[in-house]
């Protein structure tokens, strides 16, 4: 049995850069015969502003991968029982693969990781395209063609099932099709070795906004708080044009990483923050609700909108001052939270277990 890894294009400032080597290594260590299906290196390196990738470049990349898969079939290099793992489930090549597999009589298993889609009203697809029939039917087609759909959090699963599939909760789908939907966490074990050297290096009164500059991240709230609390240094990371190493160095100095997000199906930056000793100050909503202990969360309605923020601004200011004043007390309870996140949300264990049929 071979595993064909259909990679997501690597952006060095994002985790997809590390996935380029980390995911193949994980699969090989698990005993799999891995064949990488990458893409051309000459696609645009800059992401579309506020987005996860480049909307044009990603189609160049994926189209090249479809060609490679076609050649693998025509050259007889795919055999019955092989597995294809897509690190991005929003990939038209999933349909091409299913087409070849079934018409050529070469059954393969398709695995794919869901990052986002039109079913999330705060995602780019949700905001710009919404529930138009073509996009919703496309996503349903991907889902049905995929044998094992992986999600990092239960929040993401419930959002997907309710909005796209029309069920009130995922239990029905899981009973009808066991292992069709899997809460796997993300393959990000490398973050421990990457970030531990940056932990607690000369903390300063710095508060970071580590998110994309997109409407659903509500950076205006962060900017307004900076005006209200000038005794602290407030930094919007994406405005600094930082390399990954520079970002980690900045993160190591911060005492708080701030979120008022309206979209978050995992929340990598909050994990990065707490790993280097920064307090994750997050709303009690989205994936944060299941991932983080109460000590790190503030009431969701404080930042549900600009108006709710204005109404609750005094409470937020008071809480930030309290976090800063008692920073050392919060550091003492970080290890348990870090362990829980590492084991349950930033681990490849469930994905590898399912890929191996265990």
Report which of residues 356 and 296 the model is more confident about. Answer: 296
pLDDT beyond 80 at 70:
yes
Domain 2-188+347-355: homologous superfamily in CATH: Glycogen Phosphorylase B; (3.40.50.2000)
For residues 51 and 126, what is the distance between their CA atoms, to the nearest angstrom? 13
pLDDT in tens, 215-262: 999 999 999 999 999 999 999 999 998 988 999 999 999 999 999 999
Tell me what pLDDT residue 12 has: 65
294 C-beta neighbours (distance < 10 Å), count: 8
For residue 348, name the pLDDT band (cuts at 50, 70, 90).
very high
**Whole-structure pTM value:** 0.93
For residues 326 and 323, what is the distance between their CA atoms, to the nearest angstrom? 5
Q: Using the structure block, give the residue that is written with the tokens 């050259």.
A: 75
**Of 49-53, 120-124, 251-255, which gets the smallest average pLDDT?**
49-53
Tell me what pLDDT residue 52 has: 58
Domain ranges (residues) in the chain: 2-188+347-355, 190-343
Mean pLDDT of 39-59: 76
Domain 190-343: homologous superfamily in CATH: Glycogen Phosphorylase B; (3.40.50.2000)
Residue 297 contacts residue 258 (beta carbons within 8 Å): no
Residue 213 contacts residue 236 (beta carbons within 8 Å): yes
pLDDT in tens, 87-109: 999 999 999 999 999 999 999 99
Residues contacting residue 215 through CB under 8 Å, at least 6 positions apart? 50, 122, 127
Tell me what pLDDT residue 49 has: 61
172: tokens are 């029905």
Going through the chain in order, the beta strands assigned E by DSSP cover 2-6, 33-37, 83-86, 109-113, 148-151, 181-183, 206-209, 233-236, 256-258, 279-283, 297-298
Q: Rounded to 5 degrees, what are φ and ψ at 33? A: -85, 105
Tell me what pLDDT residue 67 has: 98
Q: Rounded to 5 degrees, what are φ and ψ at 207? A: -125, 130
pLDDT beyond 80 at 165:
yes
Percent of the chain with pLDDT over 90: 85
Mean pLDDT of 353-358: 82
Beta-bridge partner residues of 209: 236
Tell me what pLDDT residue 325 has: 98
pLDDT beyond 70 at 190:
yes
Tell me what pLDDT residue 5 has: 97
Please state the length of the chain: 358
The alpha-carbon radius of gyration of the chain (Å, integer) is 21
Tell me what pLDDT residue 39 has: 94
Tell me what pLDDT residue 16 has: 75
pLDDT in tens, 265-276: 999 999 999 999
What strands lie across the sheet with 109-113, from one edge to the other? Answer: 33-37, 2-6, 83-86, 109-113, 148-151, 181-183
Tell me what pLDDT residue 356 has: 85
């Amino acid at each position: 049995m071979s595993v064909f890894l259909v990679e997501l294009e690597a952006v060095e400032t994002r985790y997809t850069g590390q996935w380029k080597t980390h995911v193949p290594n994980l699969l090989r260590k698990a005993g799999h015969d891995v064949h990488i299906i990458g893409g051309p290196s000459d696609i645009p390196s800059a992401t579309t502003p506020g987005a996860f990738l480049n909307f044009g470049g990603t189609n160049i990349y994926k189209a090249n991968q479809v060609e490679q898969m076609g050649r693998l079939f025509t050259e007889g290099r795919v055999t019955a029982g092989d597995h294809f793992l897509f690190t991005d489930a929003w990939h038209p090549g999933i349909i091409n693969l299913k087409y070849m597999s079934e018409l050529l009589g070469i059954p393969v298993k398709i695995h794919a990781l869901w990052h986002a889609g039109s079913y999330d009203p705060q995602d780019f697809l949700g905001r710009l395209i919404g529930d138009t029939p073509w996009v919703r039917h496309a996503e349903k087609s991907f889902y049905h063609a995929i044998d094992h759909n992986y999600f990092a959090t239960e929040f993401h699963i419930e959002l997907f099932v309710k909005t796209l599939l029309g069920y009130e909760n995922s239990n029905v789908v899981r009973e009808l099709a066991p292992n069709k939907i899997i809460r796997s966490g993300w393959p990000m074990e490398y973050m421990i070795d990457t970030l531990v050297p940056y932990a607690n290096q000369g903390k300063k009164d710095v508060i970071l906004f580590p998110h994309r500059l997109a409407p659903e991240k509500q950076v205006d709230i962060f900017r307004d708080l900076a005006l209200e609390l000038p005794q602290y240094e407030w930094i919007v990371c994406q405005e600094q044009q930082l390399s990954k190493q520079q970002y980690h160095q900045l993160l190591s100095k911060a005492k708080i990483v701030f979120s008022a997000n309206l979209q978050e199906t995992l929340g990598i930056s909050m994990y990065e923050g707490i790993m280097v000793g920064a307090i994750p100050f997050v709303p009690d909503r989205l994936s944060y609700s299941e991932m983080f202990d109460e000590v790190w969360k503030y009431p969701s309605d404080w930042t549900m909108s600009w108006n709710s923020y204005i109404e609750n601004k005094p409470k937020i200011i008071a809480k930030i001052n309290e976090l800063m004043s008692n920073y050392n007390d919060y550091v003492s309870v970080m290890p348990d939270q870090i362990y829980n996140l590492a084991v349950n949300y930033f681990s490849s264990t469930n994905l590898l277990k399912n890929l191996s049929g265990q």
